[in-house]
Each structure stands twice: as C-alpha cells, then as structure tokens.
Amino acid sequence: MKSNQYIYNVNYNVQDYNLCAFEARALFDDELEDKVLFTDKEVEPSVSPFLKNRIKIIYKEKTFNGILELIIEDGFKANDFMVKYVPMYNRDPNIGQGKKLSKEVGLRIYGYPSFKSPKIMLGITYYQGYWYFGYLKQNNYEWRSHKQKPYSFSSALGVNIAKVLINVASGGDTSKRLVDACCGVGTVILEGVFAGYDICGWEISPKVAEFACLNVAHYQYNAKIVTGDMKDIEEYYDAVIIDLPYNNFSHYDEEKQWNIIKHAKHIANRMIIVTATNIEEKLYEEQLKIIDYCRAEKTIKGDFTRYIWICEN
Ligand SMILES: C[S@@+](CC[C@H](N)C(=O)[O-])C[C@H]1O[C@@H](n2cnc3c(N)ncnc32)[C@H](O)[C@@H]1O
C-alpha cells in the first residue's frame, strides 16, 4: 500500500508532557494520546525539543516481506543512501534487529549505499501491526548547544520552552514574521533563527540587550535586537511573543505588565504570553480570546512554573 502521510515520534521527560502536548496541538492539531503520531503535515524535527524522527511514508504493509516486495516491484532507486531501522516506541519488538532489517531493505534498493555521508536517509519501522518504509529525517539536536550560550540570567527561559514558543507562535510555518517584545538575553531569538524564522527582539535594558546581541553573535546568527521599550514597536507582525517581566525579578507592577500586553495587541493578532501566575481572568477582561494554554515546568522540582497563553485579538 502506498501512502502520503508522515509518521513522527516524540520523546519527553515527565515534567514536559504538558509542553509537548501543547506543541503538538499547535503544530499538528493533534491531541497526542501516544508518543507516535500520523499527519499530512511536514515539520522539520529539529525545530522541536520533542520530535525525534519523521518518516515520509512511501509504503505501508502488514508484513516486512510485503515492504521488500514493493521495493523490488517498483524498482526503488536511490544513490548515496542509508537505511535505518527506527524504533517508534520503547517496547518495539524489533529493537536489537535493526541492523539486520536495514540491511535486508538496503539490499533491495537499486543504487549505491553510503554509510559515511549518506545524502538520502531511508527509514523502516513497525507500529501497531504495520510496517512503514520511507524518507527519514531525524532531530539533529544541534540546538542543544544553545544551552551553553555565553550570557544568561535566572529568569531566562529554558531552551525547550523557547522552542515551543516559536512553534506555537508560528504553527510551524517558517514564513511567519515574529517579534519577541521582551527578549531578555535572547533565548527565544536563538531558537527562532535556528528554525529559519525572520525574528526580531526588543529589550528595554541596554545591558541585557547587549547580552542578547552577544549571544546571537556567538552562534553567528543574524537577528535584529533593538534596545528600547516595546511600546515603540510600530511594525506589524504575524505573532508577538511576550515573556513578561516578573514581579519577583524586576519589581514591575501589574499595571506596567498590562500596558505591555495592551500595546502588544497593536503589534500582532496572535500573541503568545508567558507569565509566572495564572492570568486567565485578566485576559478575558482585556477581551482577548484564549486559543490554548499550557502550564510548563522548567525543572522536575517544579520550581520554575510558567503559564503560556496563546491569545488572539
Ligand atoms: C522575563 S524577562 C525575558 C527573558 C527572556 N525570555 C530570556 O529567556 O532571556 C523580561 C524582559 O523584559 C524586559 N522588559 C521589561 N519591560 C520592557 C519593555 N517595556 N520593553 C521591552 N523590554 C522590556 C526586561 O528588561 C527583561 O529583560
């Protein structure tokens, strides 16, 4: 059987379940009942902290031999290819046989394999009674180097939350123009640039803005960081991300926070607001439509809770 779907698998630590499910809803409109999901949507796994593998399904069959037969029947061709068995879940009965299965598939493909620098990655997997074969894309985890950015401060977000903010702001559409209106040391900016977005950051504190610029330069990324009050933003964006300054850190009073949100309404229709407390009632008072929300923890101890609100005007 031929197919045009994608199969993805995700992985997360217990404290990240909410965040992972929140991201899956924004990217795939999927409720994530399992760690494996099927969709028509193509998303690069490396933009997510949770997506591990993506296979663009070419064949789906009840038996492994059925897949081999289709490869032969179609005279499937590829050059500089490599085949990998990709377990989609922990109790996959074929774990341990991956090399043998990949070899069986590789032997039936017309063309030269490459084990050192393959240009085409092919994946084979088994899930809930079916075998799948197709083009494989894996998370490269290069973004993990951002955890060691040179400048940080205690209220900076974790990389996982930062990546999810980009994905929920854009729905995975890299053509969207984004702004991080209170960008701090640029944690979210790094993830935006990494994923290929046109993203700009604003930061009121000159010192902190300088740290954001140095962080961006450290990875040789290109992003505009403006030192200034977000109230001076005049451009209109597809989405604005606001990680609100917190009372316990900047002594910002509530009114100042709400002024930031009020101004953000004029910058973009879609607003992603990060807060340390539950502000649901206030958002309704401001007549903002809450599209979705998530309570995320940065650590397993739960000592850095953040609420993420997706709102629209
Ligand atoms: C919670 S921190 C953001 C942290 C950031 N997400 C990070 O991970 O580095 C909020 C930032 O907003 C900045 N800020 C406060 N009021 C602002 C305003 N009106 N315009 C722009 N930035 C502002 C603060 O200086 C602070 O760096």
CA of 234 to the centre of ligand 1 (A): 18
In a domain? residue 289:
yes
Backbone angles phi, psi at 29, to 5 degrees: 60, 40
Q: What is the CATH classification number for the domain harbouring 21?
A: 3.30.2130.30
- Based on the domain organization, do 105 and 147 belong to the same domain? no
pLDDT digits (tens, 9 = 90+) for 67-91: 999 999 999 999 999 999 999 998 8
Do 80 and 215 belong together in one domain? Answer: no
Are 37 and 172 found together in one domain? no
Same domain, 120 and 163: no
Instruction: Indicate if the pLDDT at residue 171 is higher than 70.
Output: yes
pLDDT, the chain, mean: 94
Looking at 138, 160, 178, which one is the last position of a domain? 138
1 belongs to a structural domain: no
Q: Are residues 63 and 89 in the same domain?
A: yes
Both 117 and 212 in a single domain? no
Pair 87, 148 in one domain: no
Q: Supply the pLDDT for residue 249.
A: 45
Give 252's pLDDT tier (boundaries 50, 70, 90). Answer: low
Whether residue 251 is predicted with pLDDT greater than 90 in this model: the reply is: no
Domain termination site, one of 113, 138, 163: 138
pLDDT at 301: 67
- Ligand 1 proximity of 190 Cβ (cutoff 6 Å): no
- Centroid of ligand 1 to alpha carbon of 291 (angstroms): 24
Three-state SS at 103: helix
Q: Are residues 159 and 96 in the same domain?
A: no
What does the pLDDT average to over 145-173? 96
* Mean pLDDT score, 14-32: 94
* Count of domains for the chain: 2
CATH code where residue 201 lies: 3.40.50.150
Q: Judge whether 43 lies within some domain.
A: yes
Is residue 247 over pLDDT 70? no
Domain boundary pick from 112, 138, 164: 138
d(CA 188, CA 199): 9
Please tell me the predicted confidence (pLDDT) of residue 300: 65
Give the model confidence (pLDDT) of 112-157 as tens digits. 999 999 999 999 999 999 999 999 999 999 999 999 999 999 889 9
Whether 156 lines ligand 1, by a CB cut-off of 6 Å, is yes
- 165 shares a domain with 54: no
Q: Clarify whether residues 108 and 34 are in a common domain.
A: yes
Ligand 1 center to 285 CA (angstroms): 24
Range of the domain at 156: 143-312
In the β-sheet with 224-227, what is the strand arrangement from edge to edge? Answer: 224-227, 198-203, 177-180, 237-243, 268-275, 305-312, 289-297
Strand partners, 56: 6, 135
Cβ(182) to ligand 1 under 6 A? yes
Predicted confidence (pLDDT) at residue 303 exceeds the cutoff of 80: no
Q: Are residues 127 and 158 in the same domain?
A: no
Q: Residue 191 C-alpha to ligand 1 middle, in angstroms?
A: 17
Same domain for 303 and 191:
yes
Backbone angles phi, psi at 65, to 5 degrees: -60, -35
Beta strands in the chain (DSSP E): 6-10, 36-39, 51-61, 81-85, 120-127, 130-138, 177-180, 198-203, 224-227, 237-243, 268-275, 289-297, 305-312
Is 2 a residue whose pLDDT tops 80? no
Condensed to tens digits (0 to 9), the pLDDT of residues 180-204 reads: 999 999 999 999 999 999 999 999 9
- More confident call, 313 vs 206: 206
**What is d(CA 268, CA 235) in angstroms, rounded to the nearest whole number?**
9
